[in-house]
Amino acid sequence: MSTAAPARWPRIVKDPTAFKRPPNLADPQAARERFRWSDARSWLDGLPGGAGLNIAHEAVDRHLQHGRGARIALRWIGKTGERRDLGYAELAAASSRFANALASLGLGAGDGVFVLMGRLPELYVAMLGALKARAVVTPLFSAFGPEPIATRCEMGDARLIVTTPELYQRKLRALRERLPRLAHVVLVGDAPPALLAEPGVHAWAALVDAQPDTWTIPATPPESPSLLHFTSGTTGRPKGAQHVHEAVLAHAMTGRYALDLHDDDIYWCTADPGWVTGTSYGIIAPLVCGVTSVVVEAEFDAATWYDVLERERVSVWYTAPTAIRMMMRLGTEPLAGRDLSALRFMASVGEPLNPEAVVWGREAFGLPFHDNWWQTETGGIMIANVPALDILPGSMGQPLPGITAAIVQRGTDGHVHPVGPGIDGELALKTPWPSMMRGYLNEQARYAKCFDGEWYLTGDLARVDDEGYYWFVGRADDVIKSAGHLIGPFEVESALIEHPAVAEAGVIGIPDETVGEVVKAFVALKPGFEASEALNRELLGHARKRLGAAVAPKSIEFRTNLPKTRSGKIMRRLLKARELGLPEGDLSTLESDEKK
């Protein structure tokens, strides 16, 4: 495997005397040795009377017993600028009303409760209330079309769904016959009387608001099912990862250590709760850590985002490479004159964060972006650039306390074994940890294939260096084999986006009789740059110089946009299928404007 990329980007050295505040994880090395999951348990309360561990209790109700009921839990900013603050006490009462509403419909432990709506306060209330009732919660991204909604509701045995009248009419109504198990639909906001007359359709106000605002959470053994999360579908049909209440230990640890949340922080996670990041780190972890979360209903727009950062005095910001690259397209000018002095820590997840983007953070915000790695299956952040560690741009950081990672290869005995630094292999995590999935819904064989002995195999290729930093190489399915080299698309893409004309790049292998596969790149340009033969040659030359002829792309094609999942990840499998005229597979999570 080529090791071309890392050396070029200088290390970002952390100076402890320059921290805006001392990080929670001051000595990551020592903590890795000393940390036990029982430590995270000791930060939490557990249900009264030893009745177990419930995510919603730790996220919300617990704070009232510690005198923090008046603190703002959620600061909601609507599309048209309206604002609503929900204190911890209010959120506790509202979620209890929702739990009571579920009980009044005969729903409770183990029942599938789905939410399908934009980032409205009721979404947060419903998810927390359903967790209090021990229902199994599945968020669905509100931009899904009817088909992905129907398949997920069927798979997850949805009994009740919370949505808006508009989404119901556009996407769900026609599916009701196909979903006989979906007994109840709760509509948030003003619903036309004709809709409310349909079987099982309820108005939120009538069903929920009149309920008592106290609720005793039933005993919740830590292994009780909590959330069912569907993966992004980047590599194929989305899988349903089943999670349990014990995961809250990992949310507490990672909120504190990976995101450095202190209880007076103003925190903003830009991910939609329709995806696991938006739930684990848009709802659960920040509430468990007692912070104020900013919730922005509007979709991405650089000016709006910068307004939010400045006006709300956001101190910790968790976002994604796709958004960072969109901001980079516009340069630093829109940031001129803004006061972002409250900002202390910026993190990113979801896709590899190109070194260029890490460094751009410093230029634009005075702080680097801290990449971290995890997946729907792991339930929480596993590998991270934490505040106290130097950053090696392009690396996703080091395993968090409580997490043991390794790079493994399969030996002749048929089992995986850890390999040393500098060698590429599959990223593996030693089982168990509290937030790991407990199964893939209806896919036992697939779940079983993720494990070899004590190792969970992530399906991602990476390497570790001498210092213990992990470097993402690519998804096992995306890696390119060319003339005896294994080429990770990420390092080729990162080299391309270093060029000032390139906003985004997606790299795939095209089958070739002589060398196995040849590297091909698809490139989207920044505003002000035109696709041309000359630019094409220049980019090929730039890539050859950076990567060497063996790894650089042999051809480049310009595209206005690259196909992405709705969570913003580049879908290399689709670039490849389209290039080769192969079946396109599951497109349910493709951004709609990309669909043919």
* Interface positions with ligand ATP (CB under 6 A): 231-236, 238-239, 349-353, 371-373, 375-376, 396, 458, 460, 472, 475, 569
List the single partner that 379 binds among Mg ion, ligand ATP, none, CB under 5 to 8 Å by kind. Answer: none
List the single partner that 398 binds among ligand ATP, Mg ion, none, CB under 5 to 8 Å by kind. Answer: none
To ligand ATP, the closest distance from the beta carbon of 586 in angstroms equals 9
To Mg ion, the closest distance from the beta carbon of 479 in angstroms equals 14
Q: Which two tokens stand for residue 577?
A: 């299928």
User: Would you say 243 or 475 has its CB closer to ligand ATP?
Assistant: 475
* Angstrom distance (rounded) from CA 562 to CA 459: 23
Taking CB atoms, the residue at the shortest distance from Mg ion is 231
Hey, is 482 helix, strand or coil?
Answer: strand
State CA 507 to chain mean position distance. 22
User: Would you say 353 or 400 has its CB closer to ligand ATP?
Assistant: 353
User: Would you say 88 or 318 has its CB closer to ligand ATP?
Assistant: 318
List the single partner that 434 binds among Mg ion, ligand ATP, none, CB under 5 to 8 Å by kind. Answer: none
Q: Which two tokens stand for residue 145?
A: 């079309």
User: Would you say 63 or 325 has its CB closer to ligand ATP?
Assistant: 325
User: Would you say 172 or 508 has its CB closer to ligand ATP?
Assistant: 508
* Angstrom distance (rounded) from CA 44 to CA 438: 22
To Mg ion, the closest distance from the beta carbon of 144 in angstroms equals 18
To ligand ATP, the closest distance from the beta carbon of 392 in angstroms equals 13
List the single partner that 351 binds among ligand ATP, Mg ion, none, CB under 5 to 8 Å by kind. Answer: ligand ATP
To ligand ATP, the closest distance from the beta carbon of 270 in angstroms equals 14
User: Would you say 231 or 277 has its CB closer to Mg ion?
Assistant: 231
Contact present, 93 and 213 (Cβ < 8 Å): yes
User: Would you say 160 or 382 has its CB closer to Mg ion?
Assistant: 382
User: Would you say 224 or 589 has its CB closer to ligand ATP?
Assistant: 589
List the single partner that 270 binds among ligand ATP, Mg ion, none, CB under 5 to 8 Å by kind. Answer: none
Hey, is 323 helix, strand or coil?
Answer: helix
Alpha helices for 107-161 (secondary structure H): 121-132, 146-155
To ligand ATP, the closest distance from the beta carbon of 124 in angstroms equals 21
Alpha-carbon Rg for the chain, nearest whole angstrom, is 24
To ligand ATP, the closest distance from the beta carbon of 450 in angstroms equals 11
User: Would you say 118 or 352 has its CB closer to ligand ATP?
Assistant: 352
User: Would you say 35 or 440 has its CB closer to Mg ion?
Assistant: 440
State CA 42 to chain mean position distance. 26
List the single partner that 130 binds among ligand ATP, Mg ion, none, CB under 5 to 8 Å by kind. Answer: none
* Angstrom distance (rounded) from CA 373 to CA 522: 25
For residue 443, what is the DSSP state?
Answer: -
Contact present, 586 and 147 (Cβ < 8 Å): no
* Angstrom distance (rounded) from CA 330 to CA 325: 9
List the single partner that 350 binds among Mg ion, ligand ATP, none, CB under 5 to 8 Å by kind. Answer: ligand ATP
Cα–Cα distances in angstroms (integers) from residue 281 to residues 389, 503, 573, in the given order:
21, 27, 28
For residue 220, what is the DSSP state?
Answer: B
List the single partner that 371 binds among ligand ATP, Mg ion, none, CB under 5 to 8 Å by kind. Answer: ligand ATP
Phi then psi for residue 409, to 5 deg, are -130, 155
To ligand ATP, the closest distance from the beta carbon of 239 in angstroms equals 6
Angle formed at CA 295 by CA 299 and CA 349, multiple of 5 degrees: 70
Size of the site for Mg ion (CB under 5 A): 1
Q: Which residues of 370-404 are buried (b: 16+ CB within 10 A; e: fewer)?
A: bbbbbbbbbbbbbbbbbbbbebbbbbbbbbbbbbe
Binding mask 224-263 for Mg ion (x = CB under 5 A): -------x--------------------------------
To Mg ion, the closest distance from the beta carbon of 459 in angstroms equals 6
For residue 305, what is the DSSP state?
Answer: H
List the single partner that 238 binds among Mg ion, ligand ATP, none, CB under 5 to 8 Å by kind. Answer: ligand ATP
Contact present, 375 and 341 (Cβ < 8 Å): no
Question: Residue 80, exposed/middle/buried by CB under 10 A (0-12, 13-18, 19+)?
Answer: exposed
To Mg ion, the closest distance from the beta carbon of 146 in angstroms equals 24
* Angstrom distance (rounded) from CA 478 to CA 105: 46
Binding site for Mg ion (CB under 5 A): 231
